[in-house]
Amino acid sequence: MKRGSPITWEQVRVGLLILLALGILSAAVFLVGNTGNVFGSRYQLATLVRSAAGLVPGASVQLAGQTVGQVDRIELIPPDLRTDDGNAVEIWMAIDEDVREQIRTDSRAQVRTQGLLGDKLIDIEPGSAAARVLVDGDTIPSSTSVDYDALIAEGAGAVGELLEITEDLSELTSGLLEGEGSLGRLITDDALYLRVVSLAANLDSVLSVAASPEAPLMQMLTDDSLYASVRAAADAMEEIIGSVADGEGTLGRLIGSDSLYAALIGSVRTTDSLLTRLAAGQGSAGQLLTDDALYEELLKTVTDLNALLAAIRDDPERYVPPVSIF
């Protein structure tokens, strides 16, 4: 029987290197498992959201910013099983048993982005001590998450509107610089500029003259006698108003005495009574206002009188009787 070839030292070294690499790999897997708690005990919790866009199974689940599990599966809720809140996606999460006491019925789960453009993850808000601890299979209420896609879309729309406004302003500015319209003419017309400069010079000249000490306006502003006169007039007016308020003089008596008010009230009542009687047709004046027959007779009398006066003007001799002295 032929014996095999002996094992060389090179083959032994290769085998030792392979065993060492396998040992390092096993230690790394063990350390990574302990760090991420991959091999630890976990329990299942669910949350319902409107949309899980960008979220994939295996995504990180965090509790107050600390990784405590991962997304197990994402399922669509059948239309006939959806509630009125509009949630259409059910997300199942594998959570470490070590943090079970932190997640309670008043906790909230939210789909958010790690950073502005990072991966999607589930962030859970710790519950309070008064709430019940969630057990395996329970559902965590969800809170509305920030939709960065919608924000970016709104930002793009705002940028588009800003560009349109900028273009309109550019066109308007170009038109003004070319002298279009009344405002453009005001900006580009040199004659208007010269007129404004001339007006400013004239105004400065007028103000210089008015500001001189000999000018009447400055004398009125700086003369103490004018202030004294105005002050005296104000004091006199204040004295007159005070005397009127104290009931002095005819005007003061009219303002302070109740007799004028009583007289006015009496006059108003008398006038109201007279108007009431007239409206009721009492007296001659009331009958004139309310009796149609009397009105017709009066109108006929006035008409006949006008006819008689016209006839007298036309033939006055007819209505003058003959007068005989002898």
Confidence check: pLDDT of 57 > 80: yes
Q: Who contacts 133 (Cβ-Cβ below 8 Å, separation ≥6)? A: 100, 101, 103, 104, 127
Helix runs in 122-223, H state only: 148-177, 181-188, 190-210, 216-222
> Mean per-residue pLDDT for 233-253?
77
Indicate the SS3 state at residue 94: strand
pLDDT tens digit sequence for 120-149: 899 999 999 999 999 998 999 988 765 656
d(CA 82, CA 89): 9
pLDDT in tens, 177-224: 777 776 677 677 777 777 777 888 888 877 777 677 766 666 667 767
For 2-50, the pLDDT digits (tens) are 555 666 777 777 778 888 888 888 776 656 555 445 556 899 999 998 8
Q: What is the pLDDT of residue 1?
A: 45
What pLDDT is stored for residue 107 in this prediction?
Answer: 92
Task: In whole angstroms, give the CA distance from residue 166 to residue 250.
Answer: 74
